[in-house]
Amino acid sequence: MVRKYFGTDGIRGRANSLITPELALKVGQAAGLVFQRGDHRHRVVIGKDTRLSGYMIENALVAGFTSVGMDVLLLGPMPTPAVAMLTKSMRADLGVMISASHNLFDDNGIKLFGPAGFKLSDDVETQIEQLMDENLDKRLAQSASLGRARRIDGVHDRYIEFAKRTLPRDLSLDGLRVVVDCANGAAYKVVPEALWELGADVISIGVEPDGFNINKDCGSTSPETLSRKVREMRADIGIALDGDADRVIIVDERGHVVDGDQLLAVIAQSWKDDGRLSKPGIVATVMSNLGLERYLKEQGIELLRTPVGDRYVLEQMQKGGYNLGGEQSGHIIMSDFATTGDGFVAALQVLAVVQRLGRPVSEVCHRFEPMPQILKNVRYRTGKPLDNPGVKSAIVDAEKRLNGSGRLLIRPSGTEPVIRVMGEGDNRDLVEEAVDMVVSALGTASAAA
């Protein structure tokens, strides 16, 4: 079933165009009704990042939830994983994060978490969508049963303590100079404070949000600023979060970027050595580098692959009983600690390994040579180019061309009319040739449509 509002990570779009006050009001009413179970006083916690439109959406959500009788606890700017954690620890019936993650300020979104802190299932999102398109006038609360809303204090300290407890009690970051880039986003207060409390010498950038500068030339999607700062300050490590802090990219002491695949390798190996892997395997997506798969295999660790999206990674982790998974983009899910990706906690796991080994980050975080990986996007106007006989033939020929020395991945984007063609293998020229064969066929099919 094609869904009208929800995508792979909540509802997301241009603020005040797709994500309007009217839409947020409907989400609040519909989700509030779906999560009213029993006679107790129901409550929802709402966090947000630092976008200008967050105020507008927050107020509309409050109106929606209170109109169906739910009490609202407002957290203010907080990382997405903190909202998920607080939903569970505060025994709320529902959690909401207002964020468009790594997108620029023009966009915004609404992510929902159930009472256990997990993102909602497709079935529950479908129920909410159906209610959003219904007239709910007769299901609104009576005047005396309307919900109350209030801002709560102390939530920053609760998340800081939670994050610190993911490390061994005797572990200190003394002697480490850390540059942290909070992307002018949701983590701008909590993460520098937590690193300082752990003993690090902290240099903070991306901690002056103004409503417009979230993710702009900073954060995990633009690590160049962090790289320059690490070299300038002669720091030991750089940590780049995105706007809602559910993903992380590391920069080593030389200013070189370390992606999520390398971080997964570091954490997986460390956890295996400590006997902390629940199974001899981890979960990643089809986009993770073949080099990661080969490295893990040498360590006796299996790599299971899922479609792109952290929700699919988490589903496979739950299904198979795995406690570590993630994406190349830096979404790292550690189910022993959290119910969703947590960029800061992932960074702490890496810092723990760096401290224990006493070696430079460039050595600790370079576990394998990435295979040459080439990704090209083909935009199309109409139709289904992947069903074209010429495209199908080109894909078969391209796979034959690689002859088992690499792999080809072709997938349509879930958010725009684009086909993504990715190839990787030992021979870069051969991979590029195979990718170009498919791109050319897609271009021809698109032009003929």
Q: Hey, what's the torsion of the CAs at 23, 28, 29, 31, to 10 degrees?
A: 110
Nearest to 159 by CA among 219, 245, 58: 245
Radius of gyration of the chain (CA): 23
Residue 165 burial by Cβ neighbours in a 10 Å radius (0-12, 13-18, 19+): exposed
Residue of 406, 445, 398 lying closest to 426 (CA atoms) = 406
DSSP code at position 19:
B
d(Cα 434, Cα 449) in Å, to the nearest integer?
A: 23
Eight-class DSSP state of 256: -
246 among annotated binding-site residues: yes
430 within 8 A of 402, measured Cβ to Cβ? yes
Q: Active-site residue 101, yes or no?
A: yes
Helix (H) or strand (E) holding 314: helix 310-320
Residue 181 is assigned to a ligand binding site: no
Q: Which of 53, 67, 99, 101 is catalytic?
A: 101
Phi, psi values for residue 407, rounded to 5°: -145, 160
Q: What strands lie across the sheet with 107-113, from one edge to the other?
A: 11-14, 107-113, 94-98, 43-48, 71-77, 149-151
Helices (H), 120-218: 122-132, 155-164, 190-197
DSSP three-state, residue 134? coil
3-state secondary structure of 296: helix
SS3 107: strand
Angle between helices 428-448 and 389-402 (to 10 degrees): 180
Joined together, the tokens standing for residue 160 give 């800081």
Asked whether the beta carbons of 258 and 226 are under 8 A apart, the reply is no
Distance CA 146, CA 143 (A): 6
Find out whether 274 is annotated in a ligand binding site: no
Annotated binding site: 101, 242, 244, 246
Q: Which residues are catalytic?
A: 101
Annotated binding site for Mg(2+): 101, 242, 244, 246
